[in-house]
Structure 1
Amino acid sequence: MTPFRLLVVLVFVFSSIAAAQARTVWVDDKIYLPVRSGAGSQFRIIENAVPSGTAMELLESDQNGYSKVRTTKGTEGWVSSQYLSSTPIAATQLKKARQDLETAQAEVRQMQDVLANVTGERDNLQNSESSLADRSSELMAELKRIRDIAASSINLERRNGELLQENQKIRNELEVLTAENERMEAGKESDFMLLGAGLVLGGVLLALLIPMLKPTRKSDNWA
């Protein structure tokens, strides 16, 4: 037993004495102590063969070497003081030490389990941190790609505006050319109509002039 645990036991013993005017004593090693009705061997035995290591409550002691006790069964009687000890016997101390050792071992196992859980949580956090770092890199790359697309979209929009302006300019020029072509086509039709009219008129004139220009035959009688 460690000095600290022994001190705790002693404090508990002294506290019990102050509170109940009684203290705990133990039957000494390897004996069976009879409890008698009076302070002497001539008194009858009221509880026989209390084994060594049994805790009893000490009520009083006399000058003849006897002590009045209360057993765990509630029996009050007298026993020889020489077989009583103010501390537990070695077997009881050993049993208590073993119990303390088992308790300490259980606490150690519990702490080992806690440590294993904490270590597992730490590893999980490290893995999560690594995953978050990878995800952050992916998001940064995605953000750069989106920015590039946005810049390309702006350039495309500007180029689209330029193409629209060029298209409108070409349309205007096409309309001008179409109007000019229509005007020229209309002029050609007018020229063809005038030419046709001239040819018709010329044909009519020729038809009128040719008979007039043809020499007239003299009749045979005139010859």
Structure 2
Amino acid sequence: MKPYLIACIAFAVFATLASGANAQTTTRYVSDELFVPLRSGQGNQYRIVHRGLPSGTELKFIEASEDNEWSLVEMRNGEQGWIRTQYLLDKPTAGIQLKSAQAELEKLRTQYANLQNDYRALSGDKSSALNNISSLSEQRDQLERELNELKQLSSGTIELNQRYQDLLEKHQMLQTESDIVKADNERLRKEKTYDQWIYGASILGAGMIITLIIQGFGGRKRRSEWIN
């Protein structure tokens, strides 16, 4: 009973200290593929506050123990407890970053399909637009290959952040390419409208000239008949 009372007092002291240090709190994440128990004190002998925090759980870091083996954290519902520091990460887990990369890839696939449809509707023989579509296709395939590699490496987080940043940069490049293709398509649409206008104006002008010629011949014929 005495150890339990001491544990309760210690937990109350730590909770009080934590409430005064909220301005200095930071965020931590539970590392990959784990269900980590949250305890009321710095040690396995303390009561379990939460039996299993799943991987990727966002926690508010409050303070670390003197030996840095345990960290005091707070869940979103306000409940606090101690967890081994080795299970905490400064950044989201590989699984969370992988889902974000997959969402970006799906967005690029949709943009790519829309650009192909616009291109077919406007003109299929413009080499500049075709080259841009081909370039987007190659970059999309490269992104898919890197995503497959990222899936294989999702169990580790050493190089994942750098790869994730590379994917974001390539996404920005693809977005720029997408804007260029959209501009080309708009230009092609305007050129096609202009060509149709010129063609119509030419037909109208030719019709007016032919009408004037016919009227001229008709007038001469009437004057000749009147003189005779």
TM-score calculated relative to the size of structure 1:
0.50
Q: What is the RMSD of the two structures over their aligned residues, measured on CA atoms?
A: 3.4
Match of residue 129 from structure 1: 195
Match of residue 56 from structure 1: 59
Distance 1:56 1:116 in 2: 50
Match of residue 34 from structure 2: 31
Match of residue 81 from structure 1: 85
1:149 Cα deviation from its structure 2 partner: 2.7
Match of residue 145 from structure 1: 210
Which residue identity lines up with residue 144 of structure 1 in the other structure? I
Segments of 4+ in structure 1 off by > 6 A?
Answer: none
- Structural mapping, 1:1-223, within 5 Å: 21-64=24-67, 65-119=69-123, 122=188, 126=192, 129=195, 132-133=198-199, 135-159=200-224, 162-163=227-228
Q: Describe the shift of the 1:99–1:83 C-alpha distance in structure 2 as closer, same or farther (beyond 3 A).
A: same
CA offsets, 1:95-134, max 9 Å, x none?
A: 333233223323333343444455487479648835852x
Match of residue 14 from structure 1: none
RCO higher in 1 or 2 (8 Å CA, sep ≥ 6)?
2
Distance 1:160 1:55 in 2: 104
CA offsets, 1:134-173, max 9 Å, x none?
A: x44443442233222332344245435535xxxxxxxxxx
Q: Decide whether the 8 Å contact of 1:32 with 1:50 is kept in 2.
A: yes
TM-score calculated relative to the size of structure 2:
0.49
Q: Describe the shift of the 1:125–1:49 C-alpha distance in structure 2 as closer, same or farther (beyond 3 A).
A: same
| Runs of at least 5 residues in structure 2 that lack an aligned partner in the other structure | 1-21, 125-184
Q: Describe the shift of the 1:30–1:140 C-alpha distance in structure 2 as closer, same or farther (beyond 3 A).
A: closer
Q: Describe the shift of the 1:132–1:92 C-alpha distance in structure 2 as closer, same or farther (beyond 3 A).
A: same
Q: Decide whether the 8 Å contact of 1:34 with 1:48 is kept in 2.
A: yes
Match of residue 12 from structure 2: none
| Runs of at least 5 residues in structure 1 that lack an aligned partner in the other structure | 1-18, 164-223
Identity of aligned residues (%): 28
Q: Describe the shift of the 1:31–1:105 C-alpha distance in structure 2 as closer, same or farther (beyond 3 A).
A: same
Which residue identity lines up with residue 209 of structure 2 in the other structure? K
1:84 Cα deviation from its structure 2 partner: 0.8
**Secondary structure, aligned partner of 1:105:** helix
Which residue identity lines up with residue 106 of structure 2 in the other structure? E
Match of residue 218 from structure 1: none
Q: Describe the shift of the 1:101–1:152 C-alpha distance in structure 2 as closer, same or farther (beyond 3 A).
A: closer
Match of residue 190 from structure 1: none
1:62 Cα deviation from its structure 2 partner: 2.8
CA offsets, 1:59-113, max 9 Å, x none?
A: 2223232212122444222211121111233333333332332233233333434
Which residue identity lines up with residue 39 of structure 2 in the other structure? R
Larger Rg: 1
Which residue identity lines up with residue 83 of structure 1 in the other structure? Y
Q: Describe the shift of the 1:149–1:99 C-alpha distance in structure 2 as closer, same or farther (beyond 3 A).
A: closer
Distance 1:109 1:23 in 2: 42
Which residue identity lines up with residue 217 of structure 2 in the other structure? S
Distance 2:219 2:77 in 1: 98
**Secondary structure, aligned partner of 1:152:** helix
**Secondary structure, aligned partner of 2:97:** helix
